[in-house]
Amino acid sequence: MKAVILLSGGLDSSTVLYQAKAHGFECYALSFDYQQRHRQELEAASAIARSAGVAQHQVVSFDLRLWGGSALTDTNIELPCDRSLAEMAQNIPVTYVPARNTIFLSFALAYAEAINAERVYIGVNALDYSGYPDCRPDYIQAMQEVFRLGTKQGREGNAIAILTPLINLKKTEIIQLGNSLGVPWSKTWSCYAGEELACGVCDSCRLRLAAFEELGLKDPLPYSKLK
Amino acid sequence: MKAVILLSGGLDSSTVLYQAKAHGFECYALSFDYQQRHRQELEAASAIARSAGVAQHQVVSFDLRLWGGSALTDTNIELPCDRSLAEMAQNIPVTYVPARNTIFLSFALAYAEAINAERVYIGVNALDYSGYPDCRPDYIQAMQEVFRLGTKQGREGNAIAILTPLINLKKTEIIQLGNSLGVPWSKTWSCYAGEELACGVCDSCRLRLAAFEELGLKDPLPYSKLK
């Protein structure tokens, strides 16, 4: 049985890949070079894919700087730094990329249909990023309908299933799950800043570090702006 | 008011662009270079976009040969030729590209969200290609739910609307509509074969030629394999 796993190379998607593997699937990892500011996450994705022993790792390239609309695809928009978790939770942040999960899931559907996979795994999480419209269960349910109606298999009653094993987990619970699955955190990448070392102060670093700290664990990654 | 129009450069999408313009929208055309066999359709798309006087024409590039699965993205799969309209209607043809409309609509959603457009136009047609799962009304309805739930505007009650003005039209009716709107057919491109001239015998040429003939009109394009 084959599964396509959306793999950015961060904590969440890496945990999902190891989860899919533990579920017994032959894993086909799918990453995207969309000219994101933090393209080094792709190296992390490759390293994690190798560690997990995937059957194939595809990287689709396109340029979302064409219309920007996000601090991750338009370097004229400043990256928020040093925000508290409470500040992050208030609004959809400028790091939101319009329709990104819809684009990612669409390519995953195409890949899954072409290789005859049964499942697509995505590491969305509705708790820690409650502002994102495309991480919530009702959105995933709508994409599931698209998977059912937009493919031959789906029309015949064999829709490719979207699995979201992290959707109701807190970041700390994701780390605990990843630990139980043996995810090599040192190979993952979460930072948005696009510098050689993870910054430690962007929203993504903050969320990650806060979760490790809450668990009394040390994040193995080096950070440039931490005291 | 802004609208994003998916524009391949064929009869259908060109007619849809002129329809959106006639509806009074500022038009933002969106095309895709997915390494399709018939990439010259992109030149047609540019010519049509210029003729219609669009505000912007974006071309997103990515490579669907990565996993193939279609005669349009895998040159090892032979292109069907000389089939009758009845033969074409029987099954999903090998020119079907897995999840293509889902990918196209996802990028259209991203573009529309980034430029704050109200509508996305797509020239799908449920009659002449009844085998395609992703051209039917229930599929479009499922994508509309994704548009509503996957964006901030949608969550706030201002979902970007998907318009499918051709969904219930026959090819002949599309040509009649295009004629009434002044679509310059000589600038459009439908052929799948990827040669210098349109072939006249692939499914796409056959459908087009049969419709012009049924109307007693002459298709202004030159064809290489017609007597």
CB contact under 8 A, B99 and A151: yes
> Looking at the domain B2-214, which fold is it?
Rossmann fold (3.40.50)
- pLDDT tens digits in sequence order for chain B, 227 residues long: 999 999 999 999 999 999 999 999 999 999 999 999 888 899 999 999 999 999 999 999 999 999 988 989 988 898 888 888 888 877 788 888 899 999 999 999 999 999 999 999 999 988 765 578 899 999 999 999 999 999 988 989 999 999 999 999 999 999 999 999 999 999 999 999 989 999 999 999 999 999 999 999 999 999 997 75
- Residue A84, C-beta contacts closer than 8 angstroms, at least 6 positions apart: none
Reported confidence tier of residue A130, pLDDT bands at 50, 70, 90: low
How much is the pLDDT for A120?
98
Q: pLDDT for A35-90, tens place per residue?
A: 998 888 999 999 999 999 999 999 999 999 999 889 899 888 988 888 888 888 77
Helices (runs of H) and strands (runs of E) counted in chain A: 8, 5
Q: Do A67 and B114 touch (CB under 8 A)?
A: yes
Nearest to A192 by CA among A94, A48, A79: A79
Pair A98, B113: CB distance under 8 Å: yes
Find, in chain B, the residue whose alpha carbon is nearest to that of A150: B134
Where helices occur in chain B by DSSP H, the ranges are 11-22, 41-52, 85-88, 100-115, 137-149, 152-155, 171-181, 203-214
pLDDT reading at A27 higher than 90: yes
**Strand order of the sheet with strand A161-163?**
A56-61, A26-33, A2-6, A119-121, A161-163
> Ramachandran region of residue B223, left (φ > 0), alpha (ψ -120 to 50) or beta?
beta
Chain A residues near residue B115 by CB distance under 8 angstroms? 67
Nearest CB partner across the interface for B138, out of A62, A109, A149: A149
Residue contact A114–B68, C-beta within 8 A: yes
**Residue A135 DSSP symbol:** G
With helix as H, strand as E and coil as C, how does B168-215 read?
A: CCCHHHHHHHHHHHCCCHHHCCCCCCCCCCECCCEHHHHHHHHHHHHC
Question: Which tokens is A135 given?
Answer: 């991480």
Return d(Cα A139, Cα A102) in angstroms, integer.
Answer: 9
- pLDDT for A90-100, tens place per residue? 778 888 889 99
Q: How far is A138 from chain B (nearest CA, A)?
A: 7
**Statement: the pTM of the whole predicted model exceeds 0.90:** yes
CB contact under 8 A, A145 and B148: no
Rounded Cα distance, A33 and B11, in Å: 33
Q: For chain B, which residues make up each domain, given as ranges?
A: 2-214
* Residue type at position A50: R
